[in-house]
Structure 1
Amino acid sequence: MATDIDLHLGRRLRRRRRLLGLTQQQLANQVGIRFQQIQKYECGANRISAARLWQLAEALESPVSYFYDGLAEALESKSSPPSTGGEMFSRKETIDLIQAYYQLDEKPRRRLLDLAKSLHADEAA
């Protein structure tokens, strides 16, 4: 049975993998396991050992601490309704937008960010 911590780690694993545009198979190949194991980690069905978490962090080019980011808040707010922030980053369109953004050079990225901020300011006014 998955614990809240296992579920959180699995969500963070899925989010980082998707941000990098990796399939479960590609990630599994990098750490020497089957893609089904990645599936089980991501849904919280299997617990991620410390050694495996280290390997996954290396493959995903992130610190191990990335997987624990927001855990305390998630555990504290378990009794309150879920926020939309976590849901927002699990949407495919959000991942696609972030990937497209980082494929741009620095100057167009800044211009796009300025445009997005101005659009939001127009809506708020």
Structure 2
Amino acid sequence: MNALGPSLAPYIRSSRTLRKWVKPVATWYADLMGYRRMGLKYDDLQVEEHDEVQRALGRLTPREAYDRAYRIKIASHRSVLHKPLPKEEWLNPAEDTRYLQPHVVDVIKENEERAAWDSMTVQRK
């Protein structure tokens, strides 16, 4: 189990039958959440208070950080207006890529490695 918790995703991806059943439900649920109507990507919804996410945000390129801030600013403005973006400006599912998750996973792996090295005991022969 990793720090993010157990995941059934690898098992579902490996089974064509499960993937065929789960994919439409996942697509429907992502559309139901409505974040794409506001112009946000899934990783824009990450809780920033976690140390791992904070460190991962620091690893974004300046362009990625700017784009993220812009999307959040536009979504906040549209939320105050109680109106989603016009339909032609909605984010397509193909554009909803995980740009932050690889950095978060790297930070978690580094933390685990650091903890392993810090707790190592040396025994003399």
Q: Which has the higher helix share?
A: 1
The structure with the larger Rg is: 2
Q: Which has the higher contact order (CA 8 A, sep 6+)?
A: 2
Question: Normalization by structure 2: what TM-score?
Answer: 0.29
Question: Normalization by structure 1: what TM-score?
Answer: 0.29
